[in-house]
């Protein structure tokens, strides 16, 4: 969710019922620590609820220092990323590439847990590829190192986001350790959320791509799990109102120029839930260069 789970999006998801929203990946490289984009990724000013910052790297000492730095800036939880499948991340042996080196995994986890006084969580995949699923072994290392909770995406690194998430490994991990397990992967409806929780025995679920342009998913899941009833989908006017509020927060957070650019992908995701948005409308929105023009084109699209 790099480039997506900034403060405006995290706040929106929490308002819609998410129990916890994790920051974008923050590089542990000390040379990047005070870079503007790095600081924005973990900006929590005025953010409600628990603040979780996800750090990424391969050097135990740098990861420990990054954890300390972010706790000093207000993080309540440090989340370690060992699940990202992106080529540019794995090419430097970070993210899910770390799953190939269980010794280094333990060194990183030990270093980070011992460096801070807040809970440390871990995000992983089921393994490097289908022939090398080692999530159970990694989860045992995590528990021994003092990791407070583990999120498991039901795919290997080689699978990226292709095919269907496999939940049997999540079920096996849940049986193997006593720390809370969070299931992740292909959970895009309230019914799917209930099914995954039941079939894996997981303690919680994590939503990623399915929340893009669809923050109402959290309230839909909460309502279904609590009552067994299905909430109606948001009306077009509700989608429009939510999107406009989201845009205003993006402009405020990033500034007008960058805010407009960042907003384009979010608008496209919201538009996926509107039937009568055509390519010409999308093109005009993408051509907008300032907030006033972008909002005008969004409103024209909704009122077409």
Q: Which residues pair with 152 in a beta bridge?
A: 124, 183
Q: What is the DSSP letter of 134?
A: -
> Among all residues, which ones are annotated catalytic?
84
CA distances to 22, 60, 96, 124 from 101, rounded to whole Å, are: 25, 13, 10, 13
Pairing of strands 181-184, 149-153: parallel
Cβ 8 vs Cβ 253: under 8 Å: yes
Starting from the edge strand earliest in sequence, which strands make up the sheet with 77-82, in order?
A: 22-27, 52-56, 77-82, 120-125, 149-153, 181-184, 204-206
C-alpha closest to that of 97 among 55, 43, 56:
56
Cβ 53 vs Cβ 75: under 8 Å: yes
- List strand residue ranges (DSSP E) for the chain, in order: 22-27, 52-56, 77-82, 120-125, 149-153, 181-184, 204-206
Tokens of 272: 């996926």
């Amino acid at each position: 969710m790099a480039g997506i789970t900034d403060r405006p999006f995290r706040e929106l998801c929490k308002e819609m019922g998410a129990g916890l929203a994790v920051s974008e990946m923050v590089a542990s490289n000390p040379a990047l620590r005070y870079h503007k984009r790095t600081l924005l990724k973990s900006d929590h000013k005025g953010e409600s609820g628990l603040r979780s910052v996800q750090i990424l790297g391969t050097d135990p000492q740098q990861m420990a220092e990054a954890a300390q730095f972010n706790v000093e800036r207000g993080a309540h939880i440090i989340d370690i990323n060992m699940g990202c499948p992106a080529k540019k991340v794995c090419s430097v042996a970070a993210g899910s590439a770390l799953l190939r080196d269980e010794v280094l995994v333990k060194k990183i986890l030990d270093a980070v847990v011992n460096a801070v006084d807040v809970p440390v969580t871990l995000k992983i995949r089921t393994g490097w590829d289908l022939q090398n699923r080692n999530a159970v072994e990694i989860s045992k290392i995590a528990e021994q190192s003092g990791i407070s909770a583990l999120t498991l995406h039901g795919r290997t690194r080689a699978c990226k986001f292709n095919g269907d998430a496999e939940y049997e490994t999540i079920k096996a991990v849940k049986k193997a350790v006593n720390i809370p397990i969070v299931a992740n992967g292909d959970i895009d409806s309230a019914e799917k959320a209930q099914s995954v929780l039941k079939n894996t025995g997981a303690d919680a679920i994590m939503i990623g791509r399915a929340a893009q342009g669809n923050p109402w998913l959290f309230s839909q899941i909460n309502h279904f799990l609590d009552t067994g009833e299905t909430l109606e989908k948001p009306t077009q006017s509700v989608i429009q109102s939510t999107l406009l509020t989201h845009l205003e927060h993006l402009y405020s957070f990033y500034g007008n120029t960058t805010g407009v650019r960042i907003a384009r992908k979010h608008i496209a995701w919201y538009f996926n839930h509107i039937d009568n948005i055509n390519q010409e409308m999308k093109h005009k929105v993408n051509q907008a260069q300032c907030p006033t023009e972008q909002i005008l084109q969004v409103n024209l699209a909704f009122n077409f």
